[in-house]
Structure 1
C-alpha cells in the first residue's frame, strides 16, 4: 500500500510521465511486493524555482530531468527488496526514458498500518 509522490521539473510530456508512472508501478509490484491493483501516485511538475536541489550532493550530477520519488510504505521491506527496487527502477528508466541514473532519487518512508485510513473514516487494520 505505498503512496508515491513523483516530482519533476516542468517540461516532461504526458507520454513520458505515463511511462515513468507505469514503470514505477511495474517495479513496485515485481520487487517491492505491492499488489497489482494497489496503485496510488501523485505526480507534481514544478517550475524550476519551485523545485530546488543540489546538482552534486551524493551524486554524479543531476540535470533538469531530475526525478524525486518519495515512497510512503505501510509495511516493512527487506534491505534486499529495497536494493532491488532502486536498481531495477533505475535500469528500466534509463532504458525506457533515457534517464541518467544520477537523475533519480528515491526515498522510502515507513509507516504503521494504523497510520492509514483508505476510506470511510476507518483505521486500516488487518
Structure 2
C-alpha cells in the first residue's frame, strides 16, 4: 500500500509524467511485492523559483532531477527498500529517459494503524 509523491520542475509533457508513474510503479511491483492496481501516486510540478537542489554527496544533478517520496507500511525489510533504488533509477532511465544522477528516492515508513484507504475505516489496524 505505498503512497508516492513525486516532485519535479514544471514543463514536462504529459507522456513524460505518465512514464514516471509507470516506471516507479513497475519498480515497486518488482521489488516491494506491491499488488496489481495498487497505484496511489501524485506528481507535483514546481516552477524553477520553487524548486531547489544541489550537488551534495558528489552527485551532479541537473534540472531534470525528480524527488520521489514513497510511504510504505513499516513491514518492509531493509533489503526490500535497498533493492528498490537501483531498478527505480534504471527504469526511469529507460522511460522517460532520466539520468540516474537525477533520481532521488526517499522511503518513509508508517505503521499499518496509521492508514485509512476509504470509508473512514482503519483497514489495516
Give me the TM-score of the superposition, normalised by structure 2.
0.93
Instruction: Extract unaligned runs of 5+ from structure 2.
Output: none
What residue is the counterpart of 1:52 in the other structure?
A: 52
Matches of 1:102 and 1:31, distance apart in 2: 20
Matches of 1:111 and 1:79, distance apart in 2: 14
What residue is the counterpart of 2:122 in the other structure?
A: 123
Matches of 1:75 and 1:33, distance apart in 2: 14
Instruction: Extract unaligned runs of 5+ from structure 1.
Output: none
- Provide Cα deviations, 1:4-56, integer angstroms capped at 9, x if missing partner: 001000121100111110111111111111111211001101101111222x1
Matches of 1:82 and 1:39, distance apart in 2: 18
SS in 1 for 2:25: helix
Matches of 1:103 and 1:38, distance apart in 2: 25
What residue is the counterpart of 1:93 in the other structure?
A: 92
Q: How does 1:28-67 map to 2 (within 5 A)?
A: 28-54=28-54, 56-67=55-66
Give me the TM-score of the superposition, normalised by structure 1.
0.92
Structure 1 contact 59–102 (Cα < 8 Å) conserved: no
SS in 2 for 1:58: helix
Matches of 1:91 and 1:29, distance apart in 2: 14
Matches of 1:79 and 1:115, distance apart in 2: 20
RMSD: 1.3
Matches of 1:116 and 1:92, distance apart in 2: 29
What residue is the counterpart of 1:23 in the other structure?
A: 23
